[in-house]
């Protein structure tokens, strides 16, 4: 199986080299952060989480999104997904690895990371997040590997793998629920203090994850002999449609609760994001872009002839991906921290170094993803040949 | 042959991981080492309380007194003055009334209250959200109510800062010695901090341990009174019984241990 | 699968060389262990919190125990077997007598290539 990772075309190696180059640059900049401290980022006393944790939150969603293939196939016997569930599982692996790297990148004392295990603290949500993320990572590696092995050997996967798959379904919901609990259990951060945060996270995850997956499917189809199947992609588009509508609906619920109740501490954060406050409003264009992307996507997605059109699919998926990325990444962080508990408006903008490290982590995740997809697709080609 | 080789690789890989983890575990067992209780004690004059609390009389605070208090605290605890405002570290500092008490939105309050510069610091909450959030128990609540930081253990995740509804915590975004004159602490008796850990007011735990009142109370010219809330004879209790006091964001249920007298009163 | 043998052996040899290279590089460079210099203040005092041999062997565990007891249990006084009481403080007790941190602490730490992060925060009050 692994040998497929080292037998590739020139393009495959070129892609890996480019990604390794970006990852290398990111790592060099990280060394600078490691020695100087997180002061090389745009973070401050008031906005203490930024670009890294934004990516982390978003990517937990992408990882959880893979379950939108697994669940219909294993619980509802939806055959069209059968040949690509492996892509969902491997996407989860890549995404979780990025999540863990972003957490490490965000830590002030990364060499003490294992303190989270050594001094396990069950009342801290971060401890549980650590547990569920790692569980989900291991589950997806084992499941993906065993399924692929079985496919290559033309046998049925062992029965225990199926048990793991059933277990991985609640885990997928779990990783994103616990990630939402990191935020929504904090008194005094009214932008996050809402019971609808976990559902909203899940909705945006089930839009962003499958969008990313479809984009990957198109890449796979273009560069390999493996066809993920039009029907599967069309069904995924339908899932994206519903999930995106749910995401925007949950946000509308937030708006109603905040503005109808008229409670200033709830309103202030939303106002800051969308109209700014006395000259502070770096995120205003981004937030509107996100809303327009998501709104426009919904308008197009609800029309079956558009969402089923293979020329439109990648365009729509990119729109959904970017829209949810802004909404859940930057919007979620800055919205929560600005204004600060004393009602001062101190804004946050990531620095170039911070962005370089971020790109480095993404590139590392893509290396993992590229290799895993290469292995999976090679075996699929082999079996079908 | 193929099968055997794979099994060998799997076992070899697993044992490599095991070998590299083992010393870490051992080191940690030492890390949890406490001195046996029979070999430890407190100083004879240590101040011991059941629930340390503070009452701040806003009417007695002036910008000068506030500056004096902040300066005294920050010098004693080697709080750095960093060039980059974003990297600022603060233990006790001045906020205007409407920023200290964001829930108090009365438009027509006495000018004395409205423009009064308030001192804010860690509230040493009875139900501290920061302690709940911390994944390593690096921040914890002592039996006497003080919420402390164990800088040796902090991983710098800043979850406590997100959890704190009062903005009382600061993070060392760079080596704090960058903000000390000649990189030397002003108070050599007290440690500095390192980059990558969170810090905040410690209610002068190091002074209580040797029989001294918190420095802010000592230099406040009577504006700040410190004492044991569970001692009915304490000064803080007698002030609380006589003067009407408020706390920051009481609706959150955190139960701050820092009380404020607004508009003065004839206590003490 | 048949003629991989030379490749595997070559790989193993390279691996073994790489893994053991720190030993080869440092071979013959054995420096004698540094002699500890007691500061005058420490000599004058005549005793430490524990006998010399214990301090040599266990000072790291003791400092570790001290910091945990001070920070986490609020116990700040150490009572040794002779009933002597000490403030459990690296800067204010240890370095009070061992004023020569560079000779007394650092020399050995450098030799053993250990990097205790104590000094990131704790200071030598005698240092000018």
Burial degree of B10 (CB within 10 A; 0-12, 13-18, 19+) = exposed
Could you tell me if B5 lies within 8 Å of chain A, comparing CB atoms? no
Res. B1: pLDDT tops 90? no
- Comparing C-alpha atoms, which of A372, A339, A343 is closest to residue A269? A339
Res. C13: pLDDT tops 80? yes
Which residues sit opposite B120 in a β-bridge? B93
Both tokens assigned to C88 = 């459990």
What is the spatial distance between Cα A258 and Cα A156, in angstroms, rounded to a whole number? 53
Q: What do you get for the CA distance between the two ends of chain C, in Å?
A: 68
Polymer length in residues for chain B: 268
Q: Which of residues 83-102 of B touch A (CB under 8 A)?
A: 84-90, 95, 98-100, 102
The residue with greater pLDDT, A313 or C35, is: A313
Q: Which residues contact A164 (CB under 8 A, 6 or more apart)?
A: A139, A142, A143
| Cβ(B118)–Cβ(B220) below 8 Å | no
Q: Is B137's CB within 8 Å of A39's CB?
A: no
Neighboring chain B residues of C120 at a CB cutoff of 8 Å: 192, 194
Q: Are B144 and B72 part of one and the same domain? A: yes
Both tokens assigned to A120 = 């396990």
For residue B108, give Cα distances in angstroms to A77, B137, B236, B246, B249: 67, 44, 29, 18, 20
Polymer length in residues for chain C: 128
Q: Are B83 and B136 part of one and the same domain? A: yes
Q: Are B147 and B20 part of one and the same domain? A: no
> What's the rounded mean pLDDT across residues A178-189?
95
Res. B211: pLDDT tops 80? yes
Number of other CB atoms surrounding residue B265 within 10 Å: 14
- Domain span including residue B93: 52-261
- Comparing C-alpha atoms, which of A279, A293, A207, A276 is closest to residue A246? A207
For residue B75, give Cα distances in angstroms to A381, B69, B185, B209, B224: 69, 10, 8, 19, 18
Is position B102 within any domain? yes
Is position B38 within any domain? no
Is position B14 within any domain? yes
Q: Is C67's CB within 8 Å of B152's CB?
A: yes
Mean pLDDT of chain B: 88
Confidence (pLDDT) at C12: 94
Band of pLDDT at residue C2, cut at 50, 70 and 90: low
| Cβ(B77)–Cβ(B204) below 8 Å | no
Dihedral sign, Cα of residue A267, residue A272, residue A276, residue A277: positive
- Report which DSSP code applies to A277: B
Both tokens assigned to A82 = 């059968």
Q: Is B99's CB within 8 Å of A343's CB?
A: yes
Q: Are B60 and B6 part of one and the same domain? A: no
Could you tell me if B205 lies within 8 Å of chain A, comparing CB atoms? no
Confidence (pLDDT) at B28: 38
Neighboring chain B residues of A182 at a CB cutoff of 8 Å: 159
Could you tell me if B216 lies within 8 Å of chain A, comparing CB atoms? no
Could you tell me if B31 lies within 8 Å of chain C, comparing CB atoms? yes
Neighboring chain B residues of C123 at a CB cutoff of 8 Å: 184-185, 188, 191-192
Task: Please state the domain count of chain A.
Answer: 1
Segment B165-178, tens digit of pLDDT: 999 999 999 999 99
- Comparing C-alpha atoms, which of B229, B236, B247 is closest to residue B118? B247
Is position B39 within any domain? no
Res. B12: pLDDT tops 80? no
Q: Is B192 helix (H, G, I), strand (E, B) or coil?
A: coil
Q: Largest Cα–Cα distance of chain A, in whole Å? A: 66
Res. B25: pLDDT tops 70? no
Q: Are B254 and B162 part of one and the same domain? A: yes
Both tokens assigned to C16 = 């073994």
Neighboring chain B residues of A127 at a CB cutoff of 8 Å: 135
What is the spatial distance between Cα C51 and Cα A137, in angstroms, rounded to a whole number? 51
Task: Please state the domain count of chain B.
Answer: 2
ipTM: 0.91
- Domain span including residue A349: 2-384
Q: Which CATH number belongs to the domain containing residue B124 in this structure?
A: 3.30.70.20
In chain B, the percentage of residues whose pLDDT exceeds 90 is 74
Q: Are B105 and B169 part of one and the same domain? A: yes
* B92-96 vs B117-121, strand pairing mode: antiparallel
What is the spatial distance between Cα B266 and Cα A229, in angstroms, rounded to a whole number? 81
Q: Which CATH number belongs to the domain containing residue A236 in this structure?
A: 1.20.1630.10
In chain B, the percentage of residues whose pLDDT exceeds 70 is 86
What is the spatial distance between Cα A256 and Cα A253, in angstroms, rounded to a whole number? 5
> What's the rounded mean pLDDT across residues C70-81?
92
Question: Residue A347: left (phi > 0), alpha (psi -120 to 50), or beta?
Answer: beta
Of B31, B155, B254, the CB nearest to A187: B254
Is position B25 within any domain? yes
Is position B268 within any domain? no
| Cβ(A209)–Cβ(A236) below 8 Å | no
Segment B120-151, tens digit of pLDDT: 999 999 999 999 999 999 999 999 999 999 99
Confidence (pLDDT) at A382: 83
């Amino acid at each position: 199986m692994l040998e497929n990772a080292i037998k590739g075309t020139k393009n495959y190696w070129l892609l890996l080299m480019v990604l390794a180059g970006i990852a290398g640059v990111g790592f060099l900049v990280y060394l600078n952060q490691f020695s100087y401290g997180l002061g090389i980022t745009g973070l401050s006393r008031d906005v203490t989480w930024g670009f890294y944790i934004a990516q982390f939150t978003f990517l937990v969603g992408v990882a959880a999104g893979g379950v939108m293939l697994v669940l219909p196939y294993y619980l509802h016997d939806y055959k069209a997904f059968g040949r690509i569930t492996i892509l969902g599982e491997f996407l989860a692996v890549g995404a979780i690895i990025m999540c863990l790297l972003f957490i490490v990148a965000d830590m002030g004392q990364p060499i003490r990371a294992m303190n989270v295990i050594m001094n396990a603290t069950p009342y801290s949500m971060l401890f549980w997040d650590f547990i569920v993320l790692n569980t989900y990572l291991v589950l997806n590696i084992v499941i993906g590997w065993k399924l692929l092995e079985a496919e290559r050997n033309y046998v049925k996967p062992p029965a225990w793998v199926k048990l793991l798959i059933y277990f991985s379904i609640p885990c997928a919901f779990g990783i994103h629920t616990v990630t939402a609990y990191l935020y929504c259990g904090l008194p005094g951060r009214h932008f996050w203090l809402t019971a609808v945060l976990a559902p909203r996270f899940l909705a945006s995850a089930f839009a962003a994850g499958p969008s990313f997956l479809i984009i990957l499917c198109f890449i796979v189809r273009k560069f390999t002999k493996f066809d993920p199947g039009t029907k599967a992609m069309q069904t995924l588009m339908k899932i994206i449609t519903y999930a995106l509508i749910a995401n925007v609906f949950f946000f509308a619920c937030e708006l109603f609760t905040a503005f109808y109740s008229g409670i200033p501490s709830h309103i202030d954060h939303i106002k800051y994001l969308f109209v700014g406050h006395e000259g502070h409003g770096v995120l205003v264009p981004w937030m509107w872009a996100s809303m327009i992307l998501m709104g426009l996507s919904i308008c197009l997605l609800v029309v079956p002839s558009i969402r089923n059109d293979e020329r439109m699919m990648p365009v729509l998926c990119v729109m959904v991906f970017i829209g949810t990325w802004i909404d859940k990444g930057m919007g979620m962080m800055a919205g929560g921290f600005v204004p600060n508990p004393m009602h001062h408006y101190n804004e946050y903008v990531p620095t170039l170094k911070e962005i370089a490290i971020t790109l480095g982590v993404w590139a590392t995740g893509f290396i993992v993803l590229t290799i895993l997809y290469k292995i999976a697709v090679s075996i699929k080609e082999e079996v079908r040949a | 042959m193929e099968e055997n080789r794979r099994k060998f690789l799997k076992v070899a890989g697993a044992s490599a991981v095991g070998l590299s983890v083992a010393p870490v575990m051992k080191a940690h067992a030492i890390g949890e080492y406490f001195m046996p209780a029979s070999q430890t004690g407190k100083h004879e004059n240590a101040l011991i309380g059941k629930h340390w609390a503070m009452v701040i009389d806003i009417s007695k605070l002036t910008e000068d007194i506030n500056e004096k208090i902040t300066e005294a605290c920050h010098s004693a605890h080697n709080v750095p003055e960093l060039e980059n405002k974003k990297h600022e570290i603060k233990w006790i500092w001045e906020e205007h009334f409407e920023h200290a008490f964001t829930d108090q939105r009365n438009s027509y309050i006495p000018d004395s209250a409205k423009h009064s510069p308030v001192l804010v610091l860690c509230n040493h909450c009875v139900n501290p959200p920061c302690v709940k959030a911390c994944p390593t128990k690096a921040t914890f609540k002592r039996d006497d109510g003080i919420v402390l930081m164990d800088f040796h253990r902090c991983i710098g995740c800043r979850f406590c800062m997100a959890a704190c509804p009062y903005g009382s915590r600061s993070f060392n975004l760079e080596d704090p010695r960058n903000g000390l004159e000649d990189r030397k602490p002003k108070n050599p008796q007290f440690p500095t901090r390192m980059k990558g850990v969170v810090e905040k007011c410690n209610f002068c735990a190091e002074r209580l341990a040797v029989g001294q009142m918190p420095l802010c109370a000592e230099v406040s010219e009577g504006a700040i009174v410190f004492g044991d809330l569970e001692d009915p004879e304490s000064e803080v209790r007698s002030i609380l019984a006589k003067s009407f006091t408020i706390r920051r964001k009481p609706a959150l249920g955190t139960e701050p241990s820092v009380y404020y007298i607004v508009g003065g009163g004839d206590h003490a | 699968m048949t003629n991989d043998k030379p490749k595997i052996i070559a790989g193993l040899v390279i691996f073994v060389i790489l893994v053991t290279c720190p030993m080869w590089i440092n071979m013959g460079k054995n420096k004698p262990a540094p002699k500890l210099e007691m500061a005058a203040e420490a000599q004058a005092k005549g005793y430490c919190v524990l006998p010399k041999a214990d301090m040599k062997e266990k000072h790291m565990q003791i400092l570790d125990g001290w910091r945990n007891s001070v920070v986490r249990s609020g116990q700040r006084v150490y009572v040794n077997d002779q009933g002597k009481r000490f403030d459990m403080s690296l800067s204010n007790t240890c370095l009070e007598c061992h004023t020569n941190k560079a000779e007394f602490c650092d020399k050995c730490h450098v030799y053993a290539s250990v990097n205790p992060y104590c000094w990131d925060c704790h200071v030598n009050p005698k240092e000018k």
